[in-house]
Copies of this chain bind each other. A is one copy, B any other.
Amino acid sequence: MTQRQSPTRSANGLAQPLGHASLRRANLALVLRHLREEGSCSRADIADSTGLHRATVSNLMAELLERGLVREVGTERAGAIGRPRRAVALDGSHVGALGMEINVDYIAVHGTDLSGRVLVERRIGFDAMGQGPDRSLAELGRVTRRVIGDMKRAGASPGGIVVGVPGLVDSGRGVVAFAPNLGWHGLPLADRLREELGGLRVPVTVDNDANLAALAEFTSGVAAGTADMVSLTGEVGVGGGIIVGGRLLRGADGFSGEVGHLPVDPGGARCGCGRVGCWETKVGFAALVRSATPDQAYGLDTVPTPDPEERVREIARGLADGDERTMGAVAEVGRWLGLGGSILVNLFNPRVIVIGGYFARLAEQLIPPAQAELEQLVIAGPAARCRFMASNLGFGAASRGAASMVVDHIMDDPTAIGSAPVAHNIAGQRL
């Protein structure tokens, strides 16, 4: 039997073959991804396209059928002559992918099936910062249980949950190392949520909200498919997710893309984090509110602004009315957006910077000064050909990215779904 290995390469170019233990899993994933990309195919087509032996494909397909991840879709005839061949297609309508986000003042939910069909989409106002970690986890558990119930009623049992959090996340251990705007330190969120879910045994993964939003932008946003792009969340905090060569940049600990506290002005104001001149003190939502509508502002930059939706509408009205203070404040934020953007362009050389959250709402007025400042400050100038674009994913970007990450996890390891006889798993993993 021929097995396909996916060699990975280090920077010095050495091919590193996978161990035998993960071969069968990799081959199952290969077949499943092929079906996702190509639609329905015969086993023979799959064998030809993947380079796997036909006997191997039949064997893998038997397992995927048993797990309910593919289904037979009748017969197709190869050309004018030849026997009709049975075709198979990706199924997974009974497998759910649940993406969640808990942020400063809301919990967002995005549930799909394996094909990406949206089953649940919800945004629940919740004062996570004020409620503290314990009550926030209880609420997250309550929302999750309810949504799992809704998805099951729609016929899909979640095969995984990914939760986005605005902070530094140790994804491997499922721990929120530090979420400054939530006041969380070393919170074992994955374990705690599993406890809240009790008997429901669903794999839980935690990730940074901006990373998840970047995945959603890369998968289905205004610049979808752009191999080198940066995505910025524009809320109370400003987070970044970075796509490099078509992949999410993670760094050594998964702490990459922390743009909010870049030191951009050593002579600037003190930030809520205790440092001076962080980018958030220039472009965070609280900074804009403070200069555009000072009577509505609190003292510190990262203290949550009351009723943010109303504040955004008020600023938009000020712009529409040509109010000078508002226009000046937005233009100033735009210039600082361009300055921080120039750091990102000098370092990452992306083709697009997608701006989400409140940035997207005020994009028409923010982008022109930001783009001008960017091209002035970037060392390659306009030759770097990077432009700001407003996200169209709204506040659901992170939970949408979380759901697509669940789908990717399942595609990477189809053996985590359902059950199949252990004898089928030649890689020796118990299911």
In the complex, A349 Cα to B251 Cα: how many Å? 5
CB proximity of A159 to chain B, nearest CB, Å? 15
In the complex, A137 Cα to B37 Cα: how many Å? 49
Q: Please judge, given known A-B contacts A252-B349, A347-B257, whether A11 and B215 are in contact too, CB under 8 Å.
A: yes
Of all chain B residues, which has the CB nearest A351? B252
- A342 interface neighbour in B219, B253, B263, Cβ under 8 Å: B263
Q: Please judge, given known A-B contacts A11-B218, A380-B177, whether A258 and B385 are in contact too, CB under 8 Å.
A: no
Of all chain B residues, which has the CB nearest A8? B246
- Interface residue? A193 (CB, 8 A): no
Instruction: Tell me whether B3 and A15 are in contact (CB under 8 A).
Output: no
In the complex, A221 Cα to B384 Cα: how many Å? 31
Of all chain B residues, which has the CB nearest A248? B11
Stretch from A84-92, A103-111, A360-368, A404-412 that touches the partner: A404-412
A-B contact pairs, 17 of them (CB 8 A): A3-B51, A9-B247, A17-B51, A228-B251, A240-B347, A249-B348, A252-B349, A252-B385, A253-B384, A256-B347, A258-B380, A261-B346, A261-B379, A262-B346, A263-B342, A343-B343, A347-B348
Most-contacted residue by chain B among A5, A34, A266 (CB, 10 A): A266
Q: Please judge, given known A-B contacts A178-B380, A258-B379, whether A412 and B13 are in contact too, CB under 8 Å.
A: yes
A-B pairs, 5 with minimum CB distance: A251-B349, A228-B252, A255-B349, A256-B349, A258-B346
Q: Please judge, given known A-B contacts A33-B15, A244-B244, whether A255 and B177 are in contact too, CB under 8 Å.
A: no
Instruction: Tell me whether B385 and A253 are in contact (CB under 8 A).
Output: yes
The quantity of this chain's copies bound in the complex is 2
- A266 interface neighbour in B245, B255, B264, B343, Cβ under 8 Å: B264
CB proximity of A173 to chain B, nearest CB, Å? 13
CB proximity of A81 to chain B, nearest CB, Å? 24
- Interface residue? A168 (CB, 8 A): yes
Using a CB–CB cutoff of 8 Å, the interface residues on chain A facing chain B are: 2-7, 9-15, 17, 30, 33-34, 36-37, 49-51, 168, 177-178, 180, 215, 218-219, 227-228, 240, 242-267, 273, 275, 339, 342-344, 346-351, 376-377, 379-380, 383-386, 404, 408, 411-412
Instruction: Tell me whether B12 and A49 are in contact (CB under 8 A).
Output: no
CB proximity of A120 to chain B, nearest CB, Å? 21
In the complex, A205 Cα to B35 Cα: how many Å? 39
Inter-chain contacts of A383 with B (CB < 8 A): 168, 177-178, 253, 255
Inter-chain contacts of A246 with B (CB < 8 A): 9-11
Of all chain B residues, which has the CB nearest A276? B377
CB proximity of A144 to chain B, nearest CB, Å? 25
Instruction: Tell me whether B34 and A15 are in contact (CB under 8 A).
Output: yes
Instruction: Tell me whether A255 and B380 are in contact (CB under 8 A).
Output: yes
Inter-chain contacts of A215 with B (CB < 8 A): 11-12
- A250 interface neighbour in B30, B37, B245, B411, Cβ under 8 Å: B245
Instruction: Tell me whether B4 and A51 are in contact (CB under 8 A).
Output: yes
Q: Please judge, given known A-B contacts A259-B346, A346-B262, whether A379 and B13 are in contact too, CB under 8 Å.
A: no
In the complex, A327 Cα to B256 Cα: how many Å? 34
- A349 interface neighbour in B254, B263, B376, B377, Cβ under 8 Å: B254
Of all chain B residues, which has the CB nearest A167? B379
